[in-house]
Structure 1
Amino acid sequence: MVGSLEGVRVLELARYQAGPRGGMILSDLGAEVIKIEKIGGEETRRSEPVVRGQSVYFSVYNRGKKSLCLDMRTERGKEVFAALVPTADIVLQNFRPGVMEKMGFGYDRLCQLKKDIILVSVSGFGQYGPYRDRPAFDPLGQAMAGLMDLTGKPVGRPLGAATSLVDRYTSLHATIGTLAALRHRDRTGEGQVVDCCLLDSGFTMVEIPLSYYLATGQEGGEAGRPPYKAKDGHVVISASGREMASRLMQIATGDENAKAEGYTSRVGQDDPRKVAVAKWCEQNTVDHIVSTLLAAEIPVAPVKTIPQAAEDPHLWEREMLVKMPDAVAGEMYLPGAAIKMSKTPGRVGHVPTPGEHTDEVLSSLLGYDRPTLDELRQAKVIA
């Protein structure tokens, strides 16, 4: 089966996570993503954690792509890239604003090379705004959006997420913007710039508290919600709505007439109803709590460790982890395609070695013959 984006070609000039993860999703959906790296490969190929010489970090966000090693600091390297642009539908980059222009490949220049090109720009603070020129990584997006403060309210200090949530949100926004831009191009013949950034994505994660504060001048609306402690672990309970919350109160208190007027999972930890639930949980095992509440159709889940999550049969049945052969590590467990499609299912490809597809791409797309490739390689323009 062909993918939904079969025939779409992406030139990716992106490193780290937010940009490459967007390219990964496009690849999952069937696009040909050509990752253009510096000679020897981009720096995250050496990022921890490493398994048998292969970076898990790099592998997760770059599987399924083609690798072209090209020195774009050289004039000949720029000529090669300029020749590739007309063959592509999308250029995906995550340099700071202005870097593409300094390289000679701002949007105006790209449009001269191909009038309907789509430029997807991922950055820390966007292509305009007072912070546009600042460097940024995921924690800054969490911090400046208020997400760290909100997450840490229950423990009395700012607390960052254990994983790069803002990077992941930004990659999704970039993907959605790319798909919308492709649709617009197919209807009108026009390309455009898609501008996504970490701070904007961070703001979308705290949109309810922001809106509430601007309307009332008070903090509220949402806060971090710690799990409940059980005899042998922790559980998360999400009783939403009066009827569901009342069923939870009846189970926790043993009073079949208990009501939960005004109770939500967001009430304070010292709310007597939440205290009652906490006491009941402490007296029972995780399995008992989960089975009891599921029988009452109350959303509940155990808090799993990473090893426990890795062994979850649901994850494997839905192919959210797949075993792939790897040229460096022998084999790797990589994330599967999260978007399940009945007619055009996602595909997961192997992790490319540095420059694995250089000759293939340049010969098939630009018609370079062996002497030309050898000469460029000897000049250290390609690898």
Structure 2
Amino acid sequence: MSAAAKLPLAGLRVVELAGELADSGTRLLADLGAEVVKVEPPEGAAGRRRTPMGDISRWAWHLNNANKLGVVLDAADVCDMTKLRDLVGAADILVDCWGPGRLADAGLEPGRLTAEVPGLVVVQVSAFGQTGPYRDLQATEHVLYAMGGVLSRSGFPGAEPLLPPVGLVEGHTGAHVAWAALLAHYQARRTHRGESVDVSAYEAVVHGLDPVFGTQGSAAAARPDTFPRGRPDSRNYYPVYRCADGHVRTCLLSRRQWRAMFEWLGSPEEFADPKFDAIPARFHAAERLNAVIQEFFDRHTRAELVEEGAERGIPIAEVLDVADVLTVPHFVTSGVLADVEIAPGVTARVPSGQVRVDGVRAGHRSRCPELGEHDDVVLGADGFWPPRVLLAGPELADGDRPFVGLRVLDLGVNVFGAELGRQFADNGADVIKVENAAYPDGLRQSRREGAFAASFAWGNRNKRGLGLNLRSPRGVEIFRSLVATADVVVANFKPGTLAGLGLTHEILAEINPRIVICDASAFGNVGEWRKRLGYGPLVRASCGVSALWAYPDVEYGSADGSTVYPDHVASQVAAVSVLAGLIARLESGRGCLIELAQSDVALTHLGGHLAAESLQPGSVGPEGNIALAEAPSGVFPCAGDDEWCVVSVRDDDDWARLCRVVGRPELADHPLLGNVAGRLRNRAAAAGVLTQWLIRRDREESIAALQQAGVPAGLMARGPDQLDDAQLTARGAFADLEHPALPMTLRANLQVATYTSVPVAPLLPAPVLGEHTREIAASLLGLADQEVEALVAEGILQPE
């Protein structure tokens, strides 16, 4: 049996029409066992044609297309379109990245395809979606960072805002593409009808990268009058400190963590006041406190600080650059980094895969195909796939959400845990959030003492709440009884916690062989770092993200403090993997164990950087606000108070268009600027042409003129701008979330994709701690009132 045959999506058939926004999403499906056929035009996909100067993006493209088969078909050739129709007719999922309207122009209108092919899912992926006023705009990753609100929170106060490293937008979009495809497929299995899905990369950034109106978002954005114009000074959120041989980052969140640090510093009298147990007091005293910590850390190496911090229970991590990451033993031992062939004759150390299924990494099996490499195999006269048989799931009534009838026991905590469970709750599953009143979810903490936290309301909507003490044998026994009635268990504790509670995969699978378990953590269950404390900021530091998300040549230049990445996207990858396990269960009747490390997701997003550094040591570092293979490209000032825009000139055609727009058509053929190589050598001169034009004009008119000419460009948007954004409004991106414990209505993110028949999620209020304890005890556990009250008295069951 092949390695792919043992994976949960074995037998799933996917046809991908080449583009770049979905590459990593279909790669994730392929990693999980799907057969993915990538269809390219005769000239090859854009990523394949990149010049060596674009090595990072070029190698990222190769990595995102591993584990796939490659064929060439010409959209202008009638015979080729017949072959494509035949191929799609035997597939389960078609992922279309050709751009809005092009599939229909080729005679493959999605509605007709889903009517002709029972149960077919058509996922259309584009920068802004198939509908709305931005439908035909041009975009690059940098443009989407600006328009999606990320850029406005990235950088130092008073300085030029800083673009995050490339790879994150594509990685986020890909995760949402994979989720949308499998969600629609699961729906089709239950309704026996096809489904069309529209995925917008713009909405993936707004809703999924670091949402302003979502879990751990910038809740202040709900009040435009108080939202800051400049970047927040986020350097003290998760501070970076110099040490004897580099830099480290700390992440002091709890009182216990701060007290451990206080003692380690020698209990300095000026910070002995109990008020410093709270984050706000430490933040306000950051200048002096940081100086004390810096003086102490200067005397120690990274390894000493991390080791001693771990002993004391203090979250601390090295700030590693990409070269360092490639040599970390943990990443090799765990299998996330492997030396593999990424192109014919080219071997590099690169990320292999993001998850483990039943103890085996779902990762790299074959390199990216050469152009048309599998034409004979896939497009032969006898056909590649035999006639498809749609394996049905449990019947679903019209109007029901896909996961109606599923039950999820949600042990997840903080951002990752909230978002993972929410994906299933939003789509109809009965998600029971299990909490111990003595150790409530960290998301329940609010800036205002006693108030219900907005982040908890956003991330735990549509769930029920069960108060249960899992530190007691009777509590564990009750949880095991619930497992017998459940379909999924999700948790993101420190590795070993579930085992310590007596809730290992083996034990739970013996109770319920159909159970799908997701056990996630910062650095995974295998390898030297498996016992490390980890939060998103520490994961970023240890994986090279912080070192790349930095101002070049600036000490402490990391500008990623205002994000909790990779929590949101890692939870999305986990949700995809759990859903893959549920799809496999429809046929096998057996559940599985999904293991995910957030670090593996972050490393995957930096795959192109790691490949380039592996092949050419010393070549990769922070890029700042330039695109290595493009000029002029990056962040440009506009007229107004702290107003900026992003413009990307991808090639000579874009340059000629820009020259016409700015009234300098003669520069299109200028001997120093008329080609990419010349502009890269003369970046300042090329950028000056654009800057001089932008600074004198109305910013909206400038961007509109560039876009009308076909040049990717976008304004830097702030959080409140999203609520009035024409595209997001047209596509219904937000809704009102009410909660009886909240003093005001919250605006809340809805879903990244739109579907023909999957209903939009309701917004039922998140539970207060233990809100549904008695209800669940009676209906699911069958406990009599007298027994319930006895368990409440013992503190085992914990009602509201």
| 1:91 and 2:505 matched | no
* Distance of aligned partners of 1:245 and 1:203 in 2 relative to their CA distance in 1, 3 Å threshold: farther
* Distance of aligned partners of 1:227 and 1:257 in 2 relative to their CA distance in 1, 3 Å threshold: closer
Residues 49-58 or 230-239, more deviating: 49-58
CA separation in 2, counterparts of 1:361 and 1:298?
56
Q: Which residue of 2 aligns with 1:295?
A: 708
User: Match for 1:339 among 737, 747, 753?
Assistant: 753
Aligned to 2:402, what secondary structure does the other structure show?
coil
Q: Which residue of 1 aligns with 2:515?
A: 117
| 1:160 and 2:570 matched | no
* AA matched with 1:279: Q
CA separation in 2, counterparts of 1:319 and 1:215?
45
- The answer to whether the Cα contact below 8 Å between 1:44 and 1:55 also exists between their aligned partners in 2 is no
Aligned to 1:35, what secondary structure does the other structure show?
strand
CA separation in 2, counterparts of 1:241 and 1:350?
49
| 1:237 and 2:651 matched | no
Aligned to 2:479, what secondary structure does the other structure show?
helix
* Distance of aligned partners of 1:333 and 1:113 in 2 relative to their CA distance in 1, 3 Å threshold: same
**1:281-360 alignment to 2 at 5 Å?**
281-330=694-743, 331-347=745-761, 348-360=763-775
* AA matched with 1:238: S
Number of equivalent positions: 382
**1:77-226 alignment to 2 at 5 Å?**
77-154=475-552, 156=554, 157-160=557-560, 162-220=562-620, 223-225=623-625
CA separation in 1, counterparts of 2:651 and 2:705?
18
* Distance of aligned partners of 1:150 and 1:268 in 2 relative to their CA distance in 1, 3 Å threshold: farther
Q: Which residue of 1 aligns with 2:693?
A: 280
- The answer to whether the Cα contact below 8 Å between 2:445 and 2:453 also exists between their aligned partners in 1 is yes
User: Match for 1:227 among 630, 635, 645?
Assistant: 635
User: Match for 1:258 among 657, 668, 677?
Assistant: 668
- The answer to whether the Cα contact below 8 Å between 1:149 and 1:159 also exists between their aligned partners in 2 is no
CA separation in 2, counterparts of 1:270 and 1:257?
14
Q: How far 1:52 moved relative to its partner? A: 8.7
CA separation in 1, counterparts of 2:465 and 2:695?
53
Aligned to 2:596, what secondary structure does the other structure show?
strand
Percent of aligned positions with the same letter in both sequences? Answer: 24
CA separation in 1, counterparts of 2:536 and 2:681?
29
Unaligned 5+ segments in structure 2 are: 1-398, 626-633
* Distance of aligned partners of 1:361 and 1:338 in 2 relative to their CA distance in 1, 3 Å threshold: farther
- The answer to whether the Cα contact below 8 Å between 2:431 and 2:463 also exists between their aligned partners in 1 is yes
CA separation in 1, counterparts of 2:695 and 2:529?
47
Residues 209-218 or 340-349, more deviating: 340-349
- The answer to whether the Cα contact below 8 Å between 1:141 and 1:198 also exists between their aligned partners in 2 is yes
Unaligned 5+ segments in structure 1 are: none
Q: How far 1:323 moved relative to its partner? A: 1.2
Aligned to 2:650, what secondary structure does the other structure show?
coil
| 1:59 and 2:438 matched | no
CA separation in 2, counterparts of 1:88 and 1:125?
27
**What's the RMSD between the two structures over aligned residues?**
2.5
Deviations 1:58-101 (A, max 9, x none): 11211111111111111211111010001111110011111100
Q: How far 1:51 moved relative to its partner? A: 10
Aligned to 1:274, what secondary structure does the other structure show?
helix
Asked which structure has the greater CA Rg, the reply is 2
Aligned to 2:520, what secondary structure does the other structure show?
strand
Q: TM-score, normalised by structure 2?
A: 0.45
* AA matched with 1:160: D
Q: How far 1:45 moved relative to its partner? A: 4.7
Deviations 1:324-372 (A, max 9, x none): 2212015333222233222112313222111121122222222223222
- The answer to whether the Cα contact below 8 Å between 2:551 and 2:622 also exists between their aligned partners in 1 is no
CA separation in 2, counterparts of 1:307 and 1:45?
23
Aligned to 2:741, what secondary structure does the other structure show?
coil
Aligned to 1:327, what secondary structure does the other structure show?
coil
CA separation in 1, counterparts of 2:617 and 2:497?
40
- The answer to whether the Cα contact below 8 Å between 1:40 and 1:354 also exists between their aligned partners in 2 is no
* AA matched with 1:332: L
CA separation in 2, counterparts of 1:352 and 1:256?
64
Q: How far 1:111 moved relative to its partner? A: 0.9
CA separation in 2, counterparts of 1:321 and 1:247?
35
CA separation in 2, counterparts of 1:42 and 1:264?
59
1 or 2 for the larger relative contact order (CA 8 Å, sep ≥6)? Answer: 1
CA separation in 2, counterparts of 1:125 and 1:32?
29
Deviations 1:210-266 (A, max 9, x none): 11111222424983435211112111123334322331244346125515522799x
Q: TM-score, normalised by structure 1?
A: 0.92
- The answer to whether the Cα contact below 8 Å between 1:6 and 1:32 also exists between their aligned partners in 2 is yes
- The answer to whether the Cα contact below 8 Å between 1:41 and 1:355 also exists between their aligned partners in 2 is no
Q: How far 1:209 moved relative to its partner? A: 1.0
Aligned to 1:210, what secondary structure does the other structure show?
helix
Residues 151-160 or 360-369, more deviating: 151-160
User: Match for 1:373 among 788, 794, 798?
Assistant: 788
CA separation in 2, counterparts of 1:249 and 1:123?
50
CA separation in 1, counterparts of 2:775 and 2:677?
61
